[in-house]
Amino acid sequence: MFVGHYGPSFGLRRASGGVPLWVLFLAVQLVDVLWAILIMAGVEKVRITPGFTASSPLDLYYMPYTHSLAASAAWAVIFGTLAGLVWGRRGGVVVGLCVISHWILDLPVHVADLPLWGDAHKVGLGLWDRPVIAFALEAGVLFLGTAIYAQHARGKLAVWIFAVVMLAIQTTNFVMPPPAEPPQFAMMALSSYVAFAAAAWLVEKRWGQGLEVSATAGVTRR
Ligand SMILES: [Zn+2]
């Protein structure tokens, strides 16, 4: 899953208190950001096998430090705690939930390559082999989050256009030739996470949720 991960970022933005959307964009992809770094460092492993699944050429055969349930939960606690220092408990909890949501949303689409802990007991429901269902799920999760976010956005149309553009970018994955080498792919993935977070910053600044309803301080203009 790629853009579907951003559903929780949008959907939980308001509940977070004051955590910016771009931070939540990075949080939902945190384990993939770490994955890209560890692939480039040669610690985690991926093979690029065209046709490995109908939706993705990635044979993700070794990723215990980022995509095991245990590791994902640990990253969620670590980053949730750090975020809590900046944005308070509510914000920290939401950041933690966003981090762990990545594994939960990867579960239906990945083949059995997601370990429960270490490199063992791998799970995955394999919807990537049913591209239409996988795509519908991805779009559904993204748009559900977008709908929740847009309710309180200043520029609802702009927010929706942003979500649709993200989904459109995702569809180019189907027509683009598969990446040649894992490090190249990891670099590309990493750049796209940063670019999407930057876009989220811009979209929120211009068209996003302007009024923060803080649990303790009432309504404050941000
Ligand atoms: Zn992932």
Alpha-carbon distance values, 51 to 45, 56, 184 (Å): 18, 7, 19
Residue with tokens 């949720």: 209
CA distance linking residue 62 with residue 35, whole number of Å: 10
Distance from residue 211's CA to the centre of ligand 1 (Å): 32
Q: How far is the CA of 151 from the centre of ligand 1 (A)?
A: 28
122 contacts 129 by C-beta, under 8 angstroms: no
CA distance linking residue 104 with residue 98, whole number of Å: 10
What separation in Å is there between the alpha carbon of 166 and the centre of ligand 1? 17
Between the CA of 95 and the centroid of ligand 1 the distance, in Å, is 16
Beta-carbon neighbour count of residue 86 at 10 Å? 12
What per-residue confidence (pLDDT) applies to 210? 64
Please give the span between the terminal C-alpha atoms of the chain, in angstroms, as a whole number.
Answer: 32
Compute, in angstroms, the gap from residue 1 CA to the centroid of ligand 1: 7
d(CA 106, CA 214): 31
Over residues 184-193, the pLDDT tens digits come to 989 999 999 9
Give 36 Cα–ligand 1 centroid separation in angstroms: 10
214 CA → ligand 1 middle, Å: 31
Residue 53 structure tokens: 């699944």
Residue 66 CA, ligand 1 centroid: distance in Å: 8
| CA 222–ligand 1 middle distance (angstroms) | 32
How far is ligand 1, taken at its centre, from the CA of residue 102, in Å?
6
Surface-to-core class of residue 59, CB atoms within 10 Å of its CB (0-12 exposed, 13-18 middle, 19+ buried): middle
Query: How far away, in angstroms, is 220 Cα from ligand 1 center?
Result: 35
- Tens-binned pLDDT, residue by residue, of the chain (222 aa): 889 999 999 999 999 999 999 999 999 999 999 999 999 999 999 999 888 998 888 899 999 999 999 999 999 999 999 999 999 999 999 999 999 999 999 999 999 999 999 999 999 999 989 999 999 999 999 999 999 999 999 999 999 999 999 999 988 876 777 777 899 989 999 999 999 999 999 999 999 986 554 444 444 444
- The DSSP 8-state label assigned to residue 222 in this structure reads -
CA of residue 209 to ligand 1 center, whole Å: 27
**CA–CA gap between residue 49 and residue 71 (Å, rounded):** 26
Please answer whether residues 57 and 178 qualify as being in contact, where contact means their C-beta atoms are separated by less than 8 angstroms. yes
Q: How many residues does the chain have?
A: 222
Ligand 1 centre from 219 Cα, in Å? 36
Q: For residue 5, how far is its CA from the centre of ligand 1 (angstroms)?
A: 9
Asked if 63 and 37 count as a contact pair (C-beta separation under 8 A), the reply is no
